[in-house]
A and B are shown apart, each in its own frame.
Chain A
Amino acid sequence: MSSHEAHIGPPKWSTRLLKYFLRGQYLEEIEGDLEEVYHDLLSKYSKSKASRLYHLEVLKLIRPSLVRKFSGSQKLNNFGMLKHNLLISIRSFKRYKTTFLINLLGLSTGLAAALLIFLWVEDEKSVDTFHEKDDQLYWVMSNFSINNDVNTWDYTSGKLAEALLNDFPEVEDAVRVGNGFFRPRGTIKFDEYYFEANGLFASPNFFEVMTYEMLIGSPANVITDKGLVVISDEYAQSIFGTIENAVGKTISWDNRIFSKEFIVTGVFKAPPKNASKRFNVVLNYDNLIEADRWADHWNGGYAQTYVVLKEGTDIDAFNAKIADYLTINTDSDRFHLFVQQYSKNYLYGKYESGIQTGGRIENVRLFTYIAIFILAIACINFMNLSTAQASKKVKEVGVKKAIGANRTALIFQFLSESILLSIIALVIAVGLVKLVLPQFNTISGKELVLSWKEYILPTLLLVLLTGFVAGSYPAFYLSRFKPVAVLKGKVSNLKGEEWIRKGLVIVQFSLSVIFIIGVIVINKQIDFTQKKSLGYERDAIITFREGGSDYSSPQPFFDELMKIPGVLSTANMSGDFLAADDNNSGFSWIEGTEDDDNHLFDSPKVGYNFIETLGLEIVEGRSFSRDFNDGVGSIILNEAAVEYMELENPIGTKIDWGDDREMEVIGVIKDFQYGSLHKKIEPLIIQFRERGKQYFVKLRPGSETETIAQIEKVFQGIFPGQIFSPTLLADDYKSLYDSENKVADLSNYMAGIAIIISCLGLFGLAAFTAERKTKEIGIRKILGASQLIIFQLLTNVFTKTVAIAILTSVPIGYYVANNWLQNFAYSTELSWWIFAVAAISAMLLAWLTVGIQTLKAARQNPVDSLRAE
């Protein structure tokens, strides 16, 4: 052994670790042993390997018989202090039971609400992020400028994907899928059974870019040919029993776009819960081109285009490069392309005038704020109640300081009390969350689960933070007292501290009042959307779709339907009425000019009897009618369109559309709400199509169930194999506001929780005040004060505080509510009574909470309170 080696000591930090955890009496011996071991290791291995093995040896020394004990004279640092603090905390919990219970109740419901919101937010944020190349996967969007306005469309030409791949080096891969309107649905037939299909046209490389898991088959070659399809595992199980049975089977698929046979080549795992796109069959995009040549044309908007950009691509620069790409390839300079990260589109999906303005992220933010506010309210309870009890705790602080405790130790003590409390609250909160999660899932329409593996760290952080925030003010406040003053009985500056407490109550109640205002406004708006006259009937009307490829005249079907006694009227249209997404431009109504106005008109295509069935009101001219042999050349305008076109005698006006079609206005109808109330009433050109596949049947009230059964029979007879799923038009209309309804439901509950927690705090404070003033009350009563006067005396303080809270919160509430209502084109009024109701209910709640305590104090026999010395 050379002397040089002898000088190399073992790694320092390991030795330091050793000193920290090893029992003192073993230290010299084991440290020596280890040095020897290190020496042996050095003679065998390189220095780095020797050090590594040495570290391992040190770690292996951490065993119960060798490490320091947690108690006794050989305890770990600070453990004794911690134990003492814990003991003090538990004693104080026992002594002030009401305070403890109020804090615990407030914190645990607050934490439970925050946890639920946290789960919901995380789930919203995870949508579509499961694709392997998530950070490189982008969606090509197009801004369509027309008449000083810009519409943002998420669909583009079917040719775009390949062209981008060829022309831009940044693009690593590209995929096109048929857009929402061009999704093959209908039914798939196998072995005489029919199954509802929800298909997706896609490029052959779809599964390589969008990594939905492939269970059977390789992602690269499942849909290489027009005749091949790949189906989801759930779908395979329902058709074939097992997923293995599916491969190689031939199925026939009939929908409004095609009717063909396919061979199943593979099975993919159904899109996960957090996928925004849902489908159970995927087939080659070429099938769509075969059915409609515009699907592969620069001037068609049939596809959604997704691209994988090379790592490190500068998105802004890329957007600038592709912005005018369509101008080169189409004859129009109205389209401007840009990309948006695929997984971002779910949360940031709303555009106004071509600029990203939000989307679901607004709800995510809203609920994040609500969670923070609820927790803040619960924390304020803790702060208020502990500082209110300061006078009881100052003696403890004084004694501790006198025997040498420093301020840090005291701060640590109070913080450990609040953190202990919030940990207990967490346990209860988790139980609460488990309990209400099923209901929460029903309300929010999600399938959330509380999984510890993922959330343990953020949850613990949340709890520590809550404990810290709640405990910080009392800790710093209480630890400040001077021992001499305190022990002499002089507790100064209680005035200033009372102000802070009042301020905190003001904050709490302001938040509560804002919550109340929010709840009233949301519910009022929802009520408004449901009750507003839309200009058409939606109550006794059922609607259903026939998804097959047969486009023969629907007349025989109507004739059969009209034989059912419960059917009052029937109609059809093509496209979806409530989605209101069917629009056209290129109409020209001033003679001699061409394409004189590029206005984009909403333009539903309806069949005979549509206007009558939905009860739309004709104000001039006539409706579509068999007697006049109406064809695609007949159109009906709404009043808004007449006004927009400035037509004096609308009936008979000729309107050119594109190059080759002349149409004539045959009637004008009264304005009605086309689509949801998010949309304004716009100029409307109603066109005629005899063979639409969306059916409407008006039922005779009273025998709806039987009538629907009869309609189903007729439907199955005429469209064998198609699935009949009728819905009430009124229900469909309601579901246009799904997102608002969910927000409303959730915020109702959250507001309730916030208010309850605020009241709990107030209750605690009132109890405390009443207790502190027992003697004063006794003396006043002896001198002749009535119960009413005592009651006023005690409630006055709180009345003032809550009144200030109301005054501060009303303007904020007005601002927030007004902002939210801007989302609707037609909204309910923000009448003064909303604020009055919010204010009065907050005040009543406060009085009620305080009143219970006060009444008890006011009715007490003065003898009891004065004798107790």
Chain B
Amino acid sequence: MKKTKLGELEELVLLTVIVLKEEAYGVEIKRELEERLNETLSVGSIQSALKRMEEKGFLKSEFGEATAVRGGKRKRIYTATPLAIQTLEEIKEVRTLLWASIA
């Protein structure tokens, strides 16, 4: 199989999913990332990143509980797959090596 690539935003979203654990659903990911990056993100950009990664096999998802704030609609909780973790590590390794050669 061709090696699947991760975009910059995708990588950030993926990491956030891992950080948030059971709370990793759309809006929460958006809030967390907005806070860390100190910029506003749209629901659309987060959602499309999530859907793309789910298609590529980086994420799995299942419905969580519904709340009143959500107008009775269920959350979709995302979890990273082993493939995602492996890819993230690969990326990190490449970057570390690159930084090492700069120094």
Residues of chain A having any CB pair with chain B under 8 Å: 6, 9, 26, 28-37, 39-40, 56-57, 60-63, 65-66
Contact = CB atoms under 8 A, between A and B. Distances in A.
14 contacts: A6-B69, A29-B76, A30-B47, A33-B27, A33-B47, A35-B69, A35-B70, A35-B71, A36-B27, A40-B27, A56-B42, A57-B43, A60-B42, A61-B44
B66 interface: yes
A366 to B, nearest CB: 55
Interface residues of B, number: 24
Given A26-B51, A66-B51, A32 B44 contact: no
B89 to A, nearest CB: 26
Contact of A37 (B27, B55, B75): B27
Contacts of B51: 26, 65-66
Contacts of A31: 71, 73
Contacts of B52: 65
B70 A63 contact: no
Contact of A9 (B42, B43, B55, B71): B71
Contacts of B70: 32-33, 35-36
Nearest to B61: A29
Interface in B35-64: 42-45, 47-48, 51-52, 55, 63
Nearest to A34: B43
Nearest to B55: A65
A42 to B, nearest CB: 11
Contacts of A57: 42-44
Nearest to A32: B73
A65 B52 CA distance: 7
Interface of B: 25-27, 30-31, 42-45, 47-48, 51-52, 55, 63, 66, 68-71, 73-76
Nearest to B43: A57
Nearest to A30: B47
Contacts of B42: 56-57, 60-61
Given A33-B25, A37-B43, 16 more contacts: A6-B68, A26-B47, A26-B51, A28-B74, A29-B25, A30-B47, A32-B70, A32-B71, A33-B30, A33-B70, A34-B43, A36-B27, A36-B70, A39-B69, A65-B55, A66-B51
B37 to A, nearest CB: 17
Nearest to B76: A29
Nearest to B52: A65
Given A6-B69, A57-B43, A32 B48 contact: no
Contacts of B63: 28-29
A6 B66 CA distance: 15
5 interchain residue pairs of minimum CB distance: A32-B73, A32-B70, A60-B44, A33-B26, A60-B42
A62 B26 contact: no
B48 A36 contact: no
Nearest to B45: A60
Nearest to A54: B43
A61 B74 contact: no
A845 B55 CA distance: 67
A63 B43 contact: no
Contact of A32 (B30, B45, B55, B74): B74
A63 B26 CA distance: 16
Nearest to B42: A60
A30 B43 contact: yes
B27 A65 contact: no
A36 B31 CA distance: 11
Taking chain A's interface residues, is the majority helix, strand, or loop, or is none over half, making it mixed? helix
B74 A36 contact: no
A35 B43 contact: no
A39 B43 CA distance: 14
A57 B26 CA distance: 13
A374 to B, nearest CB: 49
Given A6-B69, A35-B73, A39-B69, A29 B44 contact: no
Q: Among A40, A56, A60, which residue has the most Cβ atoms of chain B within 10 A?
A: A60
Contacts of A66: 44, 47-48, 51
A683 B48 CA distance: 88
A819 B68 CA distance: 79
B36 to A, nearest CB: 17
A420 B8 CA distance: 44
Contacts of B30: 33, 37
Given A33-B26, A33-B27, A63 B44 contact: yes
Contacts of A62: 44
Given A36-B70, A66-B51, A61 B75 contact: no
A62 B48 CA distance: 10
Contacts of B73: 28-29, 31-32, 35
A57 to B, nearest CB: 5
A416 to B, nearest CB: 33
Contacts of A63: 44, 48
A56 to B, nearest CB: 8
A66 B75 CA distance: 17
Contacts of A61: 42-44, 47
Nearest to A61: B44
A500 B70 CA distance: 63
B68 A32 contact: no
Contacts of A40: 27, 31
Q: Among A6, A26, A30, which residue has the most Cβ atoms of chain B within 10 A?
A: A30
B75 A29 contact: yes
A65 B69 contact: no
Nearest to A10: B71
Contacts of B26: 29-30, 32-33
Q: Among A26, A34, A36, A66, which residue has the most Cβ atoms of chain B within 10 A?
A: A36
Contacts of A9: 71
A33 B43 contact: yes
Contact of B69 (A29, A36, A60): A36
A40 B41 CA distance: 14
Nearest to A65: B48
A66 B46 CA distance: 11
Contacts of A37: 27, 30, 43
Nearest to B49: A65
Nearest to A15: B71
A31 B71 CA distance: 9
Contacts of A34: 43
A85 to B, nearest CB: 32
Contacts of B66: 32
Nearest to A28: B73
A56 B45 CA distance: 12
Nearest to A9: B71
Contacts of B25: 29, 33
B47 A32 contact: no
A66 B43 CA distance: 11
Given A26-B51, A39-B69, A32 B43 contact: no
B74 A29 contact: yes
Nearest to B51: A65
Contacts of A28: 63, 73-74
Contacts of A29: 25-26, 63, 73-76
A66 B27 CA distance: 16
Contacts of A30: 26, 43, 47
A26 B55 CA distance: 13
Contacts of A6: 68-69
Contacts of B68: 6
A62 B43 CA distance: 11
A604 B97 CA distance: 100
A62 B47 CA distance: 11
A63 B70 CA distance: 23
